[in-house]
Amino acid sequence: MHNILVTGSKGQLGSEIRELSVEYQDVFYFTDRNELDITNKDAVDGFCIQNNIEVIINCAAYTAVDKAEEDEANADRINHLAVKSLAEISKEKNIKLIHISTDYVFDGENYKPYVEDDKVNPNGIYGKTKLDGELALQEIDPNNTIIIRTSWVYSSFGANFVKTMLRLGKERDALGVIFDQVGTPTYARDLANTILEIIPQLNNDNVEIYHYSNEGVCSWYDFAKTIFELSNTDCKVSPIETKEYPTPATRPHYSLLNKSKIKKEYNIAIPYWKDSLDTCLIKMQERK
């Protein structure tokens, strides 16, 4: 049994971990920025001492990709400097640390699924600050620490692409969705399950990086089409190019992650993205 701190617990991944936590014997402490400011090292240090924290799952992040382009200081504070503090606390107190990162550390110019040691080259501020967090963590190098990079996260909790498509599908007869960005959606509940399964197995001297998304590949256009098909939403989807939908931040055109390492080392099975999407849509209906 562990005392586990989950930061950013009101986000998609944190919310899924909270719901799944009832199945575990561990003691969980779920915090968000109002309860524990992870950019305040003394506050985090005191919280860990007071509650005898043995594992930290860092789900907290500055994820507003476009806003980060003009708000670099805050993105850096949360995605980089706070992670550095968590790493220092983990090393000093021998706390296991699971840190969530992103496919945005890559430039999206690859032609085959990214493996963990492929060259990193972020396109924008969000990716840069997330990479700086990874590098700080690796430099401090606490034991029993892993970084999990993921992509295209959605859930029945929070705001995400699936919920946006369901809303727009009801409001409009037709939509244009980008087809020249490809990757794999990640159902946050699947990732949450994997994290909780991994915790007892953590036993590494150096920081290890893993990739996790659901299985398969699609474009945002394919993703939207499938959302409408599975939810019986009558909305026509047309493919558009990225250049027809300009945004302040550049998105990676290619975000496929190779999951072989995490599957092999932790003996986990990863569901196919369409199956997980169907499960999530059912969950959303149940919540209504």
Name the residue among 84, 134, 83, 73 with its Cα closest to residue 104. 134
Task: Kindly state whether residue 194 falls inside one of the protein's structural domains.
Answer: yes
Catalytic residues: 126
Query: Residue 196 is which amino acid?
Result: L
Tell me the CA end-to-end span of the chain in Å, nearest whole number: 34
Task: Kindly state whether residue 174 falls inside one of the protein's structural domains.
Answer: no
Q: The CATH number of the domain where 131 resides is what?
A: 3.40.50.720
Q: What is the mean pLDDT of residues 138-155?
A: 96
Task: Kindly state whether residue 84 falls inside one of the protein's structural domains.
Answer: yes
Instruction: Please state the domain count of the chain.
Output: 1
Identify the H or E element spanning 5.
Answer: strand 3-7
Task: Kindly state whether residue 102 falls inside one of the protein's structural domains.
Answer: yes
Task: Kindly state whether residue 180 falls inside one of the protein's structural domains.
Answer: no
Measured CA angle at 96 (ends 91, 102), to 5 deg: 100
Task: Kindly state whether residue 171 falls inside one of the protein's structural domains.
Answer: no
Residue-wise pLDDT tens digits, 239-288: 999 999 889 998 999 999 999 999 999 999 999 999 999 999 999 998 87
Residue-wise pLDDT tens digits, 66-111: 999 999 999 999 999 999 999 999 999 999 999 999 999 999 999 9
Name the residue among 141, 129, 162 with its Cα closest to residue 281. 162
Task: Kindly state whether residue 282 falls inside one of the protein's structural domains.
Answer: no
Domain that holds residue 86: 3-159+185-214+255-272
Q: Provide the whole-model pTM.
A: 0.96
Joined tokens for residue 211: 């990739």
Name the residue among 249, 56, 236, 29 with its Cα closest to residue 137. 56
Task: Kindly state whether residue 146 falls inside one of the protein's structural domains.
Answer: yes
Question: How many angstroms separate the CA atoms of 198 and 195, rounded?
Answer: 5
